[in-house]
Structure 1
Amino acid sequence: MKKYLVFCLILIITSCKRNNSASADVSLPEKDSIESIVKDSVLPVKEKKPLKTFTGLADTTFVRVADFSHDFEYDLRYATENNFLKSKVYDCAECYTRVKTAKALVKANAEFMEKGYKIKFFDCYRPNFVQFKMWKIVPNPQYVANPVKGSIHNKGGAVDITLVDFEGNELDMGTDFDFFGKRAYHDNMDLPENILQNRKLLKETMEKYGFWSIRTEWWHYNLSGSSKDKIANFKWVCRQESE
């Protein structure tokens, strides 16, 4: 819109100059007037909501991660059909974790950002009823936790993530999220060097802030101590798009 208005004003000024000799009464817009017109025509930018703080919150409380940082990216696959279930099992895309998990994620992300990257979430807290759906499709504990015991996702202590640059481009990790095969294994060294380095950056930084990985999934990280927390089954409230 701004570029369009400037273009129109340039046309007006040019036309006025051409006709100036024929009409001495033609007055050109003043510079201040042009800037005022352009400024007033720019659509207002939507402001981000003020962030909440962790002050006073128990470490085991569930929180919406986006309420505490604007610096994460999201592609929550289970709120779409782009996942190994081929089914949308979340009503809407939200990322919840326990407070202690969110705190560690914010700290880890701050270090990633110093290097030009951000955490992108594929999955966060997962209601236990969804775990039963997954187990029915893939009843293999190597890939899906038995819902009777519960996944650490069900406890708010696990996240599935990758890294993106500040333009949103994902770093090459060798496979897509939820790829069930040897190429996704952490101990698979038969991969291009850039992929190994990207995984190393993700893994070593997450471990620095209290997370540990599992051998078969480069994207999965658990916060230490979270396995002792209780299984949860609540469904979050979907936020309005306007928020």
Structure 2
Amino acid sequence: MRQAIQRIGFCALAVAAFVLPARASPLPAGFVRLADIDPSIRQDIRYAGSDDFLHRKVSGYDAPVCILTLQAAQALAGLQKAIVAKGLTLVVFDCYRPARAVADMGEWTREGGPPDPQWYPKVKRGDLIAKGYVGELSTHSRGSTIDVAIAPVGSTAAPKPACGAVDANTLDFGTGFDCFDPMSETAHRPLGDEAAANRKLLVDVMRAGGFKNYAREWWHFTLTNEPFARQRFDFPITAE
């Protein structure tokens, strides 16, 4: 099966500029489920449940599964192999994001509301787009962007972040995933020495695999040579 998926991916490279159908077999050509490439990478896909800034499942997330382009998945697998040797593992919070999910998030912000101490403690809900924390378009819909952290293999519980997703087993990054606050900017200062060192580690690890960081979110990375740089997809996220 893995060889079949790889053959599909290689064919997709040759026709990257061609408009692909919304569904082709289980996934559009050029896409894979990360677990089929490297099941050791930990998945904590937040938008498939209620533990996210919307406090509900996001449209299009029918399963807590990471889907990526073949190139992005293979690059992650290479990085995972390198850091596992150091007793660490990648943890992905979000991968491919359907265009309908991006629209759902945008509509949700327009409902308005006060700040949320866990997710956006200093910004009103209706200002999240204007402040740049929620996008009306997303690179995630191109399939080669991931939200990722690093955790020790077999780690025990660590202090929970004051803002963002509560994942007690990751390294200390100063905030959790999806903390909509200036503290989440990759180079934000002041920041504790351990958190600053861990952000640098994450950026260095991801850069070695060909990923570039989005400076406003320490967890957000896009494959530099992504295959569908001018294309957005809207197929739902499913387990099979």
Q: Common fold, TM-score beyond 0.5?
A: yes
Partner amino acid, structure 2, of 1:237: T
How high is the sequence identity, in percent, across the aligned residues? 31
Task: For 2:72 and 2:136, locate their aligned partners in 1 and report how far apart those are by CA, in whole Å.
Answer: 22
**Cα shift readout 1:137-173 (whole Å, capped 9, x = no counterpart):** 13237222323xxx11001010001111111421011
**Cα shift readout 1:166-222 (whole Å, capped 9, x = no counterpart):** 114210111111001111111213111111111111101101111011111111101
- Report runs of 4+ in structure 1 exceeding 6 Å deviation: none
SS in 2 for 1:203: helix
Task: For 1:180 and 1:208, locate their aligned partners in 2 and report how far apart those are by CA, in whole Å.
Answer: 27
Q: CA 1:56–1:141 in structure 2 vs 1: closer, same or farther (change >3 Å)?
A: farther
Per residue, is there more helix in 1 or in 2?
1
Write out aligned runs for 1:127-166 (5 A).
Answer: 127-136=98-107, 137=109, 138-140=128-130, 142-147=132-137, 151-166=138-153
Q: Which residue of 1 aligns with 2:34?
A: 65
Q: Which residue of 2 aligns with 1:200?
A: 200
Task: For 2:192 and 2:131, locate their aligned partners in 1 and report how far apart those are by CA, in whole Å.
Answer: 28
Task: For 2:146 and 2:214, locate their aligned partners in 1 and report how far apart those are by CA, in whole Å.
Answer: 12
Q: Larger radius of gyration, structure 1 or 2?
A: 1
Task: For 1:189 and 1:107, locate their aligned partners in 2 and report how far apart those are by CA, in whole Å.
Answer: 31
Q: Does 1:120 align with 2:121?
A: no
Task: Identify unmatched segments of 5+ residues in structure 1.
Answer: 1-50
Task: For 1:238 and 1:175, locate their aligned partners in 2 and report how far apart those are by CA, in whole Å.
Answer: 29
SS in 2 for 1:159: strand
Task: For 2:90 and 2:56, locate their aligned partners in 1 and report how far apart those are by CA, in whole Å.
Answer: 25
For this pair of structures, how many residues does the alignment match?
186
Task: For 2:82 and 2:131, locate their aligned partners in 1 and report how far apart those are by CA, in whole Å.
Answer: 33
Task: For 2:36 and 2:9, locate their aligned partners in 1 and report how far apart those are by CA, in whole Å.
Answer: 16
Task: For 1:95 and 1:180, locate their aligned partners in 2 and report how far apart those are by CA, in whole Å.
Answer: 22
Q: Aligned-pair distance for 1:52?
A: 2.3
Task: For 2:144 and 2:37, locate their aligned partners in 1 and report how far apart those are by CA, in whole Å.
Answer: 17
Task: Identify unmatched segments of 5+ residues in structure 2.
Answer: 13-29, 110-127, 156-168
Q: CA 1:225–1:55 in structure 2 vs 1: closer, same or farther (change >3 Å)?
A: closer
Task: For 2:184 and 2:129, locate their aligned partners in 1 and report how far apart those are by CA, in whole Å.
Answer: 19
Q: Aligned-pair distance for 1:88?
A: 0.7
Q: Which residue of 1 aligns with 2:67?
A: 96
SS in 2 for 1:125: coil
Task: Report the RMSD for the aligned CA atoms in angstroms.
Answer: 1.8
**Cα shift readout 1:3-22 (whole Å, capped 9, x = no counterpart):** xxxxxxxxxxxxxxxxxxxx
Task: For 2:140 and 2:146, locate their aligned partners in 1 and report how far apart those are by CA, in whole Å.
Answer: 7
Q: 2:56 aligns with which of 83, 87, 97?
A: 87
Partner amino acid, structure 2, of 1:202: L
Q: Which residue of 2 aligns with 1:110?
A: 81
TM-score by length of 1: 0.72
Q: CA 1:102–1:83 in structure 2 vs 1: closer, same or farther (change >3 Å)?
A: same
TM-score by length of 2: 0.72
Task: For 1:98 and 1:78, locate their aligned partners in 2 and report how far apart those are by CA, in whole Å.
Answer: 19
Higher relative contact order (CA 8 A, sep 6+): 2
Partner amino acid, structure 1, of 2:150: L
